[in-house]
Structure 1
Amino acid sequence: MEKLKGWKKLTLSQAGREILIKAVAQAIPAYPMNLFKFPNSFCQEMDALISKFWWGQKQGENRIHWVSREKLGRSKEDCGIGLRSFTLFNDALLAKQCWRLIVEPNSLWASVLKARYFPNCSFLKAKRGGRASWIWSSLLAGREILRNGAHWQIMDDNDTRVWVDRWLTSLPLGKPLPLGPVQVSKNLKVKSLICQESRGWDIDFLKPFLVDAEFAAILGTITGDPLLKDRLIWLYEKRGSYLVKAGYYWCLTHSSGRIPPPSLATNCPRALWKIIWKLETPPKI
């Protein structure tokens, strides 16, 4: 905050202000935000200071903010500036640590956390508890991103639950919903829907309880190597691994419906802007 107040005394172009914001003001808090959930009031105060600095506000003067803070947070490919929201970026960073906790269960730090907070269940099913540390409470806040955005890829189909876990990528909720007041078992595993000999779907008995779209979504799901365990994948990356950049964009487009998807927010083709921002200045001869 003191750095921002000092910068306000300088005469800088908007390009200079953008560089200072991204290289210093938004980079310094990134290290502690990897493990700690910062208070929303602090994040909002930082967002407000950066927004005032971006619009050239000095001392106690007030200047008009011609574009909302949410629009400034979009990437340049989506006709924004890329000034990240501290709250959403904090959550995206914490989700990365949660991802590491899931995919690297044998690491030292994962073993310590498991022994302390969830010795008898998986991380996705763990509860906060009455004596949770700041780090553990922060990780649980980032875990919600994986719960709502990640999907399970069916391999040996021993762990994924039909009605609870997200495993159908073509459905908005990622899982089927039973029609009407049908009582279903929440512990029903996906392996109950697969013929172990042919590895094909055997779900005719579920047809009366599913809508056609859900029935077709199950039939269209391809199972993987049965020798491997079901794994968590992030659909918004080609390799299926969670990245902070992809997680932040997911938070941006799903944060209480505040920001519409890029296709609705602008008429500019996203691919065109992506090409424009990657253009390089030709070398001087």
Structure 2
Amino acid sequence: MILVQSVTSVILAYYMQNVALPIRVCSSLDKLNRDFLWGSTDERKKMHMRMSFYSLGLYSTKARNLVLLAKLNWRVMEDPNSLWANTLIAKYYPNGIMDERLRSHRSGFSNWKGLKKGHEVFRKGLRWVVNNGQEISFWHDLWVGDSPFRSLVHGPLSVWEDSLRVCDVVEGVSMWNLSTLSLAIPTCTRESIKAISVCPNRPLADKRFWDSVGGLVGGGGVIRNHLGDWVGGFSRAIGVTTSVQAELRALKDGLNLAIDFGILNLEIEMDSLVAVECVNSISTPNVFFSTIVTDCRSLMERFEKCSLKHIFREANGCADLLTKAGYNQNPDFISFPNAPAYVLEALAFDVSNATRFRLISS
């Protein structure tokens, strides 16, 4: 299984970042991985449990290909001044990367075809973090909830309302004035809007962030003493949510477990930089994470000494395995007073002086 996860499933990732693989190729690759894992051949078939019963953490090639191509769209948006992005924008994105109506080209090199394949996933995963609200369309951009407000409206909007920005319905600091709208906003959505800290005169500009479309995820963590010995661990089936929210849920579970153990001094390491910054920031958390971030901050105050820092996933292998185990487990939450067998190798590696290489883009 380790060979499949680290070699055969990953070896094509370089190509899938730029090229949209045919569906038949993706299906063949998935079949090769399954046959290799279970020892199946054309002459001798092996039986195994359905994926709905259990998951070994193997990626669907087609789904991973789409996500990587969506990430390529993100890179075009984040680095528009680079030579390669400039070329693509000039030829294929005359109205910008966010234009839904991309130019159709019968011909075109593989990068363009890949960008077009991943564009829908890219757009669906984009959200806005509100700071001053000057760049965000009130109706057409996704900045609160699960879909743009325009999807709630049947029929045309007035010219004024159609061009409305978030800052146009703010008076002073976080004083929302929704009474100017001709259409009623649902009560639950109004409460979510009021929870957002926004100031039209704030110099900090609005920002986009891209997260994967919410999917079925798990959470997990391990508590060790200063020698690296196992104190306790857990895994949880979280359900359908985003990766950042899953990381924050796992942090909350870990804090509660540490409190149950009577730990006074705690040093927390997480491989999600976004989650770490959300909790450590002195500002009001964004509405998408406000409740869970507030809970985590409150729990951290119960320790005599508590710190939270970011590390790379390569240095967090034991927790990563527990997270994958929790993806589709039953019951939803499992606490481990002793280390389960499948993390022993990673646990020993974490406390050793051995190093693991990390590939980074230049």
Q: Same fold (TM over 0.5)?
A: yes
Q: Summarize deviations over 1:137-188 as a string: whole Å, max 9, x none.
A: 31132232232223111234233212221100xx232546546657454432
Work out which of the residue numbers 120, 141, 148 in structure 1 matches 2:117.
Answer: 141
Q: Summarize deviations over 1:78-99 as a string: whole Å, max 9, x none.
A: x631111100111121122222
* Greater RCO, CA 8 A, separation 6+: 1
1:147-226 aligned at under 5 Å gives the runs 147-168=123-144, 171-173=145-147, 175=149, 178=152, 183=157, 185-195=161-171, 197-198=172-173, 200-206=175-181, 209-223=184-198, 226=202
In structure 1, runs of 5+ residues without a counterpart are 1-17, 72-78, 246-261
Within 2, Cα distance between the matches of 1:101 and 1:180?
33
Within 2, Cα distance between the matches of 1:57 and 1:106?
49
Q: How far 1:192 moved relative to its partner? A: 1.7
**Secondary structure at the counterpart of residue 192 of structure 2:** helix
1:233 aligns with 2:209: yes
TM-score (norm: length of structure 1): 0.69
Within 2, Cα distance between the matches of 1:91 and 1:140?
10
User: Partner residue of 2:77?
Assistant: 102
Distance 1:97 1:214, change over 3 A: same
User: Partner residue of 1:64?
Assistant: 47
Q: How far 1:272 moved relative to its partner? A: 5.7
Within 2, Cα distance between the matches of 1:126 and 1:271?
46
In structure 2, runs of 5+ residues without a counterpart are 212-242, 245-271, 276-312, 314-325, 353-362
User: Partner residue of 1:125?
Assistant: 99
Alignment RMSD (CA, Å): 3.4
1:34 aligns with 2:10: no
Within 1, Cα distance between the matches of 2:162 and 2:327?
37
**Secondary structure at the counterpart of residue 209 of structure 1:** coil
Within 2, Cα distance between the matches of 1:206 and 1:265?
46
Distance 1:122 1:239, change over 3 A: farther
The one-letter amino acid paired with 1:215 is R
**Secondary structure at the counterpart of residue 27 of structure 1:** coil
Please identify, of 201-210 and 57-66, the stretch whose mean Cα deviation from structure 2 is larger: 201-210
Aligned pairs, how many? 235
Q: How far 1:271 moved relative to its partner? A: 7.4
Q: How far 1:41 moved relative to its partner? A: 1.4
The one-letter amino acid paired with 1:149 is G
Please identify, of 175-184 and 28-37, the stretch whose mean Cα deviation from structure 2 is larger: 175-184
More strand by share: 2
User: Partner residue of 1:10?
Assistant: none
